[in-house]
Amino acid sequence: MRNFILLIFSLMAMSHNIKSQSLKMGSIFADHMILQQKTKAPIWGTAKPGSEINIIGSWNAKAKATADDKGNWITAIKTPEAGGPYTLSICSSTKSIEIKDVLIGEVWLCSGQSNMEMPLTGWPPKDTIMGSAKEITNANNPQLRTFTVKRGYSLSPEKDCKGEWTLFNKEHAGKFSATAYYFGKRLYEELKVPIGLLHTSWGGTPIESWTDGQTLQQIPEYIEYFVNLKKLSLEYDNFIIWVNKHHKMKLAALAEEEKWENLNFNDSACSTVNYNDINWKTMTLPGYIEKTELGAFDGAVWFRRNISLTEDYAGKDLEISLGPIDDMDVVYFNGIRIGGIEKTGAYQQDRIYPIPANIAHKGINTIAIRIVDNQGGGGIYGTTEKMFIRDKQNENIKMSIAGEWKYLPVAEYLNDEFFIYPHENMEGYNRPGGSNAANAYQPSVLYNAMIAPLVPYAIKGFIWYQGESNVGNAELYSRLFPAMINGWRQSWAQENLPFYYVQIAPYLYSGENNIESAWIRDVQRRTLSVKNTGMAVTLDIGNVHNIHPCNKTDVGQRLALWALSKDYKKNIKYSGPLFEKVSFEANKAIVTFTNAESGLKIKEGLPNEFEIAGEDGIFYPADYSIAKNTIILNSAAVLKPVKVRYAFKNGSQGMLFNNEGLPASSFTSENKIE
């Protein structure tokens, strides 16, 4: 009998093993997909080891593969000229998969940080997209299809990711990357073939997160990280084991603007007046959660503070100002909810809520705030001047509430799920070390989870919009950026894949007249020396007060100009003027530009962005004159110029264009990168 039971368990285990190794495809191989035309498109998946796989494309193409001893298989199928719809059938001896509505066309991978991620709907109220309402209303192009990779990070390369192909229509248009859309739209208008856009981006992330580990290990600054990677991986595994011991809560399957509302972590008691928070830890506000011992943390955190109000405040209509909160909040005063924003995209919005006259009283009053941070840095992070309570009718009656607050984490957000840490025993303080071992800002983790699963899907090329998160370290970026480009090309085993990118737009950063972001722009300009690259300049369409410029139409179209000219051989101007060389004659600097054959022009009414410097290295504004494709500069303050630069401040505006209307890139003639 005992042997019989063991046999049954053995057969059950074998059955489970067979099922787990049955034919399976990655998420990118699905209905509505677009395959790159006129190539051998890789197709891959898993199956029972030794299985023979047959692939049939209804465009009269076939391919075969055999699963290796680990169950992995890969092959390639020949694709015709653009067209469709077709079906793609993948069959093993035990299972068949049919992928429907397959188009053949042009496929581009679109990646970067928030300016690539920013959807057509924008992130109102501050981060909006110019003309998006019309685009969304008129969205109905079945020939334009998108695949957005769901956010994820990993310490090692993943084989699959979460995502789905969608048709560009009213239902899906608003959720898709605006920059990628305008790029694809322009390609479609010119080429009239199906366009597939693979979108994989994450706001606020640095370039090293997107660079593969093999490439990063060749850069001295990252050697130690990879030496310690095994230890970090173990720490993170232990952290995840601890997290998974807690009750898990999935977000409701609602639209993005609704799914964050009324989240219940069994924590409502934390808002009440008499709640015992005596043993809560403290932090100084304004500030980021990540500056506490929590370290890398996304999730829900309560903040509490008791304040003493004088008779001047009692019985009056007051208001509380907290400054900006990253990302969402609910605010209580004496246990009564007085306001909150429970939707994404409002992280730059100042929170100012009314406190009705019947709530505040003389003596001790309790403020309780629950914030939910779903990505990156989180907290009440503005300035001390923005944190106060005041009489709405008399601004002289005002008190600061910046300073020491109590805080308690009650839920952690990981992979689209919340893990609840009971507030009664302050479980959130018991988080083990290891949470910092893996997050979206660590080397290679986004490549592993959001790029590697797409390799080696057949693509025409890449577009990229990133750099803001690396401002302040231009020299390192000058090595990372070309290395990442070549690393991606090696991943696809195509050393000439086109790589077109956006030069970051003007923004204040540390100050409008400082230059740390100008150095990143110049590194991006210099990266044009890498073969088959191109750069879209945004000096003329930025907003120094918003790191997310609203004009994504020109950004996408300027990227498309490079592709249309270089890859699709359209007779079209693709770039604005680019610095070529400078020569010095007496007190003059003569600057020569490429991409200015038709001549140069200055946009009137803008500040003069030309500067020259002598041996002392001090730059002064320069007078200018145009002669064909050159600019002649001089300044009474510089008798013998040796350096020249243009638009080399954080807040610079583009004033120089070619006669096709495309802006010149900022530049400096200095060789050293700072």
CATH classification at residue 261: 2.60.120.260
- What is the pLDDT, as a whole number, of residue 344? 86
Q: Is the pLDDT of residue 648 over 90?
A: yes
Burial of residue 673 (number of CB atoms within 10 Å: 0-12, 13-18, 19+): middle
Sign, CA torsion 437/226/445/329 = positive
The two structure tokens encoding residue 160 = 């699959």
Report residue 317 CA to chain centroid gap. Answer: 41
Please say whether the beta carbons of 421 and 428 come within 8 A: yes
309 with 404, same domain: the answer is yes
Sign, CA torsion 452/458/461/463 = negative
Whether residue 27 is contained in a domain is answered as no
Measure the CA angle with vertex 591, ends 585 and 593; round to 5°: 150
d(C-alpha 516, C-alpha 521), whole Å: 9
Closest Cα partner for 462 from 535, 538, 529, 520?
535
CATH classification at residue 161: 3.40.50.1110
- What is the pLDDT, as a whole number, of residue 129? 97
Please say whether the beta carbons of 510 and 516 come within 8 A: yes
Phi, psi at residue 74, to the nearest 5°?
Answer: -155, 145
- What is the pLDDT, as a whole number, of residue 7? 36
Whether residue 466 is contained in a domain is answered as yes
Whether residue 91 is contained in a domain is answered as no
399 with 454, same domain: the answer is no
Q: Is the pLDDT of residue 481 over 60?
A: yes
Q: Is the pLDDT of residue 4 over 70?
A: no
Whether residue 129 is contained in a domain is answered as yes
Please say whether the beta carbons of 516 and 96 come within 8 A: no
The pLDDT-based confidence of 79 (bands split at 50, 70, 90) is very high
Q: SS3 letters for 397-466? A: EEEECCEEEEEEEEEEEECCEEEECCCCCCHHHHCCCCHHHCCCCCCCHHHHHHHHHHCCCCCCEEEEEC
Whether residue 127 is contained in a domain is answered as yes
Neighbours of 70 (CB within 10 A): 9
- What is the pLDDT, as a whole number, of residue 548? 96
276 with 381, same domain: the answer is yes
Least confident of 29-38, 205-214, 438-447, 512-521: 438-447
157 with 200, same domain: the answer is yes
Sign, CA torsion 94/99/104/107 = negative
289 with 171, same domain: the answer is no
The two structure tokens encoding residue 515 = 């230059």
d(C-alpha 674, C-alpha 671), whole Å: 10
Whether residue 651 is contained in a domain is answered as yes
- What is the pLDDT, as a whole number, of residue 437? 82
Name 587's Cβ contacts closer than 8 Å, sequence gap at least 6: 634, 638, 639, 640, 641
The predicted-structure confidence for 522-542, as pLDDT tens digits, reads as follows 999 999 999 999 999 999 999
539 with 585, same domain: the answer is no
The predicted-structure confidence for 263-274, as pLDDT tens digits, reads as follows 999 999 999 999
Please say whether the beta carbons of 202 and 117 come within 8 A: yes
The pLDDT-based confidence of 12 (bands split at 50, 70, 90) is very low
- What is the pLDDT, as a whole number, of residue 43? 98
d(C-alpha 251, C-alpha 368), whole Å: 24
Q: How many residues does the chain have?
A: 674
194 with 264, same domain: the answer is no
Q: SS3 letters for 151-170? A: CCCCCCCCCCCCCCEEEEEH
416 with 475, same domain: the answer is no
Least confident of 370-374, 415-419, 454-458, 667-671: 415-419
Query: Looking at 419, 437, 455, which one is the last position of a domain?
Result: 437
The predicted-structure confidence for 546-574, as pLDDT tens digits, reads as follows 999 999 999 999 999 999 999 999 999 99
The predicted-structure confidence for 578-598, as pLDDT tens digits, reads as follows 999 999 999 999 999 999 999
Report residue 622 CA to chain centroid gap. Answer: 38
Q: Is the pLDDT of residue 19 over 90?
A: no
Whether residue 276 is contained in a domain is answered as yes
Pairing of strands 40-46, 24-25: antiparallel
The pLDDT-based confidence of 8 (bands split at 50, 70, 90) is very low
Query: Looking at 403, 437, 471, which one is the last position of a domain?
Result: 437
Sign, CA torsion 209/210/212/215 = negative
Q: Is the pLDDT of residue 15 over 60?
A: no
- Number of domains making up the chain: 3
Measure the CA angle with vertex 443, ends 439 and 446; round to 5°: 60
Pairing of strands 328-333, 287-288: unpaired
What percent helix, strand, coil does the chain show, rounded to 5? 25, 35, 45
517 with 529, same domain: the answer is yes
**pTM reported for the whole predicted model:** 0.90
Q: Is the pLDDT of residue 126 over 60?
A: yes
The predicted-structure confidence for 420-449, as pLDDT tens digits, reads as follows 999 999 999 999 987 788 889 999 999 999
383 DSSP 8-state letter: -
Alpha-carbon radius of gyration of the chain: 28
Boundaries of domain holding 558: 106-212+444-575
Neighbours of 240 (CB within 10 A): 17
Q: SS3 letters for 535-590? A: EECCCCCCCCCCCCCCCCHHHHHHHHHHHHHHCCCCCCCCCCCEEEEEEEECCEEE
Q: Is the pLDDT of residue 45 over 60?
A: yes
Angle between the N-to-C axes of helices 553-566 and 178-191, in degrees from 0 to 180, rounded to the nearest 10 = 40
How far is residue 35 from each of residues 106, 304, 452, 493, measured CA to CA in Å?
7, 54, 18, 18
- What is the pLDDT, as a whole number, of residue 433? 81
- What is the pLDDT, as a whole number, of residue 375? 84
- What is the pLDDT, as a whole number, of residue 36? 98
405 with 507, same domain: the answer is no
- What is the pLDDT, as a whole number, of residue 195? 98
410 with 466, same domain: the answer is no
* Sheet with 578-585, edge to edge strand ranges: 578-585, 588-594, 630-634, 623-627
What value does the mean pLDDT of the chain take?
94
d(C-alpha 575, C-alpha 416), whole Å: 41
Bridge partners of residue 318, in order along the sequence: 355, 391
How far is residue 117 from each of residues 49, 112, 208, 418, measured CA to CA in Å?
39, 7, 17, 23
Sign, CA torsion 236/241/242/243 = positive
Q: SS3 letters for 181-211? A: HHHHHHHHHHHCCCEEEEEEECCCCCHHHHC
- What is the pLDDT, as a whole number, of residue 160? 96
Instruction: Label residues 402-417 b or e (16+ Cβ within 10 Å = b).
Output: beebbbbbbbbbeeee
Angle between the N-to-C axes of helices 516-526 and 474-491, in degrees from 0 to 180, rounded to the nearest 10 = 40
294 with 160, same domain: the answer is no
Whether residue 317 is contained in a domain is answered as yes
Of all residues in the chain, what percent carry a pLDDT higher than 70? 96
Q: Is the pLDDT of residue 13 over 80?
A: no
- What is the pLDDT, as a whole number, of residue 435? 79
d(C-alpha 30, C-alpha 24), whole Å: 11
Query: Looking at 437, 452, 480, which one is the last position of a domain?
Result: 437
Neighbours of 584 (CB within 10 A): 16
Calculate mean pLDDT across residues 360-387: 95
